[in-house]
Every structure is written in structure tokens, then in C-alpha cells.
Amino acid sequence: MAAPDAAGVVDPRRALALREVFASQVTRRLNVPAAEQRAYAGRLQAALREHALGELSGEYVVMVDRNANVQALLIYFRATPADAWQMIGASPVSTGRPGEFDHFVTPLGVFEHTPSNMDFRSEGTENQNHIRGYGKRDMRIFDLGWAQAERGWGKGGVSQMRFQMHATDPDRLEPLLGVRHSKGCVRIPASLNTFLDHYGILDAEYAALVESGKSLWVLKSDRQILPWAGRYIVVVDSERKARPAWSPAPGAKAHARVPAGTDTAD
């Protein structure tokens, strides 16, 4: 998919071929209508522009809509600043659910994924409630460092939280993706976690370290990092007042798998 041509150049338009890979490998997907894809592309560009990244191109970008009625992650790409952002794929997520102690509202903004906050991998261990907060063993935890976030308890206000994106308990909590349910981090499907990890979607700076001669244990030896690896996760809030049909909420059966008070994990 990413082999160079005779001149040694990899055509950036080939980055869009990742759509087919996403569709075949990511099991929890959202069918986002074309008009909605364009609307989110506009939100993405506005957020990047606000952070002096309006000319960003040539790399994948991950965007999360934290809105309670959406709870979705979308991957975008454009080859040049003159091109429109195009969606690669979308999946349901869970972001911060306010109302309980130590639960933050997932922060808005543009967050850089950098080895300065080195990723790690899940041990797959259960807590006292038999919940695997980081998912099954070997799932990657994308660590975005400390972030200022709104406290979802007490009198509110803002304080620091460790912002991460990671898989979650595959049996009890992954079925609840699509509603706010975390302590502030972004929970994603296991198949999406594997996809992001294997193709290095957010690993531009990790790849640069490897190319400089560093050995990073967190990167698997069989990874297939693409030439368009990125480094940014953008969190927005679409401020929707109703849930769109393309982002359905989990049903009663999914909620029934989680006894009250046993889901405190992140």
C-alpha cells in the first residue's frame, strides 16, 4: 500500500487506501454520511487553525467528538493544505462522564502524541470489580500527558488529569462505547486500538526516534508504519442537542453487563 514509485516517491493520495483497511480490520465502525464527514472536516480545520496548525497536511489526524449525543472518533487525511480533509473511518468511543468524584469532562483542544509522554501496554489485569480498565493484555495506551480539564464533581473548576486514549474491558465496557462513561480519557474499541498501533497512525515522532537509532520496546516488531503517520489528536464538541442516527447509543443489554458501581476504571 505504501511502496514508492520508480522515482522513490510515495504518492500521498495513496494514504486514502487506508479506508479499505479500516473497513476490513476495525470491527466497531460508524457509517458517517458524506455531509457529516464534510462538516467534521470543517470542525477539524477550525480547531487546527486555532492552534496555528491550519496548514497541516500529509499526515493522519485523529479527531474525537466528545458531545454526549455523538461520542465518536474519526480519522482524517489530506495530502496538501489546498486539499479538503477526507475521512478514513469512524468508530464509537466513550469520553469523560461527569457526576462522580475523580471524573473529568474530556478536555477540548489539539493534543500532540509524543514520546515525551511514553506510551505503555496493558497487562490485562482485573481490578477488584473484575474490570480490565485498559483492556486485554498488550493493548497500547496512547499517553498524551497532563492536561487541564474540567472537574465533573463538587463545585467544578479545572485541574490536571492524565489524558490517555486506550482500549477498555472487552466484555463489560466495550459494549458501552457510544455514551460518556470514562473518568476523562478516551476509550476506544480493541480493534481500533490494534489498527492505530499496527499502522502507526499517531506514531510520527516515535518513528523519528527509531530512525535516529533508538530502540522503543512499546513498538511491536511486526508493525507496518505508514509514510503518513501523524501525531495529533483533536477533541471537539459538536454541541448537538439530539443523537444522530449514524451514532446509535448502546442498548439495555450492554448496560446490563455492568453492575452498578463496578465500572470505575481508567
Mean pLDDT, the chain cut into blocks of 10 residues (266 residues total):
52 91 98 98 98 97 98 97 97 95 96 97 91 95 96 93 96 93 96 98 97 94 96 98 96 78 68
What are the φ/ψ torsions at residue 159 (nearest 5 degrees)? -150, 180
Confidence (pLDDT) at 49: 98
Is 85 exposed, middle or buried, given 0-12, 13-18 or 19+ CB atoms closer than 10 A? buried
Q: Where are the domains of the chain?
A: 12-255
CA 261 to the chain's CA centroid: 26
Residue among 196, 253, 266 nearest 226 (CA): 196
Residue among 3, 59, 89, 48 nearest 236 (CA): 48
Confidence (pLDDT) at 259: 67
Quickly list DSSP for 39-61: HHHHHHHHHHHHTT-TT--SS-E
Q: CATH top-level class for 12-255? A: mainly beta
For residues 33 and 241, the answer to whether their CB atoms sit within 8 Å is: no
